[in-house]
């Protein structure tokens, strides 16, 4: 299993979810292993995809704050949190949760330096508070391709990655669309 995939990936920039799926299709999907792609990922210690085909965009799968109504650490009271916050230290890489096209890679006062990726299947994802961006609007990205390096820019109370997922333009709870996340010991309501 491993060496074939390795050769397939020669000449490509990295191992990622779409390459593993491409390889499985190329080889006829006939390994007698229904969990072939997942096993490739385990072999290479790569992130596995959820049922929706999304991978966790950070090396750590730890969620500091969930989607929904949460306490506001900056202004007090509560606020609507439109995404989830993932543990990500300063300048740690964050990558796209799936293949797509970068529609925004810019700065806003709330998101700081952020990237939005259109996955061209109704879904889009947004990654915020970067220290540095790694892509530009118009770039095509693969699942697992680095889009930025984590920071604390914009409306943020510490280094982390804020992730939003939209389905047909409507924000959804990313936790329901990603592989299982660990919850940090940081208390959220
Ligand atoms: Zn957030």
Q: Do 119 and 158 share a structural domain?
A: yes
Q: Do 144 and 90 share a structural domain?
A: yes
Q: Do 94 and 149 share a structural domain?
A: yes
Q: Do 87 and 31 share a structural domain?
A: no
Which pTM was predicted? 0.77
End-to-end CA distance of the chain: 44
State the pLDDT at residue 1.
41
Domain range for 16: 2-44
Identify whether 56 is part of a domain: no
Residue 53: count of CB within 10 angstroms of its CB = 17
CATH of the domain at 135: 2.70.70.10
Q: Are 125 and 50 in contact (CB under 8 A)?
A: no
Q: Do 159 and 132 share a structural domain?
A: yes
State the pLDDT at residue 89.
96
Taking the centre of ligand 1 as the mean of its atom positions, its distance from the CA of residue 140, in whole angstroms, is 25
State the pLDDT at residue 17.
65
Taking the centre of ligand 1 as the mean of its atom positions, its distance from the CA of residue 123, in whole angstroms, is 19
Instruction: Evaluate the CA torsion angle 64, 67, 71, 75 in order and state its sign.
Output: positive
Percent of the chain surpassing pLDDT 90: 61
Helix/strand/coil percent split, the chain, to 5:
15, 35, 50
Q: Are 79 and 123 in contact (CB under 8 A)?
A: no
Q: Do 162 and 75 share a structural domain?
A: yes
Identify whether 188 is part of a domain: no
Q: Do 71 and 37 share a structural domain?
A: no
Q: Do 31 and 69 share a structural domain?
A: no
State the pLDDT at residue 31.
67
Q: Do 92 and 39 share a structural domain?
A: no
Taking the centre of ligand 1 as the mean of its atom positions, its distance from the CA of residue 69, in whole angstroms, is 11
Q: Do 108 and 20 share a structural domain?
A: no
| C-alpha of 176 from chain center | 13
Q: Do 66 and 27 share a structural domain?
A: no
**DSSP secondary structure code for residue 176 in this structure:** G
The pair phi, psi for residue 61, each rounded to 5°, is -100, 45
- Quick check: 114 pLDDT over 70? yes
Measure the CA–CA gap between 189 and 178, rounded to whole angstroms: 21
Percent of the chain surpassing pLDDT 70: 83
Report which of 158, 142, 106 is spatially closest to residue 127, judged by C-alpha positions.
Answer: 106
Identify whether 68 is part of a domain: yes
- Quick check: 49 pLDDT over 50? yes
Q: How many domains does the chain have?
A: 2
Identify whether 159 is part of a domain: yes
- Quick check: 106 pLDDT over 90? yes
Taking the centre of ligand 1 as the mean of its atom positions, its distance from the CA of residue 162, in whole angstroms, is 4
Query: pLDDT of 137-188, one tens digit each?
Result: 999 999 999 999 999 999 998 999 999 999 999 999 999 999 989 988 664 4
Q: Do 103 and 37 share a structural domain?
A: no
Taking the centre of ligand 1 as the mean of its atom positions, its distance from the CA of residue 13, in whole angstroms, is 30
Give ion ligand 1 contacts, CB < 5 A. Answer: 85, 162
Q: Find which of 20-34, 71-85, 136-150 is predicted with most confidence, using mean pLDDT.
A: 136-150
Burial 112-150, CB ≥16 within 10 A → b, else e = bbbbbbebeeebbbbbbbbbebbbeeebebbbbbebbbb
């Amino acid at each position: 299993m491993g060496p074939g995939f390795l050769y397939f990936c020669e000449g490509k920039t990295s191992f990622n979810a779409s390459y593993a799926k491409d390889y499985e299709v190329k080889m006829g999907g006939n390994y007698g292993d229904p969990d072939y792609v997942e096993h490739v990922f385990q072999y290479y210690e790569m992130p596995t995809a959820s049922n929706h085909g999304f991978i966790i965009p950070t090396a750590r799968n730890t969620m500091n704050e969930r989607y929904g109504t949460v306490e506001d650490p900056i202004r007090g009271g509560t606020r609507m949190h439109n995404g989830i916050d993932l543990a990500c230290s300063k300048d740690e890489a964050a990558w796209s949760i799936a293949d797509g096209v970068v529609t925004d890679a810019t700065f806003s006062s709330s998101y700081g330096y952020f990237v939005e990726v259109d996955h061209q299947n109704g879904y889009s994802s947004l990654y915020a508070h970067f220290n540095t961006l790694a892509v530009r609007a118009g770039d095509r990205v693969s699942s697992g391709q680095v889009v930025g390096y984590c920071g604390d820019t914009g409306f943020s109370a510490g280094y982390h990655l804020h992730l939003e997922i939209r389905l047909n333009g409507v924000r959804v709870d990313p936790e329901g669309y990603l592989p299982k996340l660990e919850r940090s010991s940081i208390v959220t309501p």
